[in-house]
Amino acid sequence: MNEPEPDREDVNESNVPLHAEFQHRAVTARIQADTAQGVFANAAIILSGQFEFVLDFIVRMGKPDRVMTRVVLPIPVVGQFVKALRESLAHYEQQFGPITEIPKAAPKAAPSAEQQNAESTPGGFVGQIGPSSMDSGSAPGSKSAPPIDEIYDDLKLDDSLLGGAYANAVLLRYSPTEFCFDFVTNIYPKSSVNARVFMAIPQVPPLLKSMSHSFDQFCKRQQSPPPPPSPESDLDS
């Protein structure tokens, strides 16, 4: 009587561990119903940390201003996002023409300091993740922004958004009137859209300006030489 042959998939003749390679396709990312409808934003706060950037997308319409969603991006993705957004804006202008600037209301009286700060950073604020004493730079050519603690004191930020939504990829789409940003997490076995943000076209160039400035400042900080050792450390050695 012939003995049954073992199944081939159960036989591993070598001692090499089994492994597999996989590729993510963000275009097939899954999206939950509560994320699919997206949120509208007309401003953004950009905070830079040592390993990630935090993007708070805000609605500035009525008081208080409200954080609609928070996205956490690893550093390499930030550079890719800036490049992709710049290219997408160039393609948009080739297709639809120059983008109009955000209109500003003519002041009826001398603007207050709060109004000046609001006008100096249309669509974005560039800051850093850290103590309130840490320097926060505004976009080039604009007036000094208020301290970050003061900014967030005037914002409505729900507890459910404190941790943010992690994303290691961004999908960009646009219509004649809006941009859509899908923030995607590419993790096996299925990519997932964790946040979707809509912005009116005139709001996108200020976002790019703030993102680019913040990323450039981050790169400069990484390239700066370390501070010289203090005299006390020399004596200890």
> What pLDDT is stored for residue 108 in this prediction?
72
> What pLDDT is stored for residue 143 in this prediction?
57
Non-local CB neighbours of 71 within 8 Å, separated by 6+ positions: 54, 55, 57, 164, 165, 166, 167, 183, 194, 195, 197
- Structural domain includes residue 196: yes
Non-local CB neighbours of 115 within 8 Å, separated by 6+ positions: 107
Query: Cβ distance 230 to 97 under 8 Å?
Result: no
> What pLDDT is stored for residue 154 in this prediction?
87
- What whole-number distance in Å separates Cα of residue 135 and Cα of residue 142? 15
- Structural domain includes residue 2: no
- Structural domain includes residue 61: yes
Model confidence pTM above 0.75: no
Tokens at 216, concatenated: 């450039």
> What pLDDT is stored for residue 66 in this prediction?
93
Q: Into how many domains does the chain fold? A: 1
- Domain extent, residue 79, equals 24-98+120-219
> What pLDDT is stored for residue 96 in this prediction?
95
Taking the chain (237 residues) in consecutive chunks of 10 residues, what is each chunk's mean pLDDT? 49 48 56 89 92 94 90 96 96 95 76 51 48 39 69 89 94 96 92 95 95 93 74 53
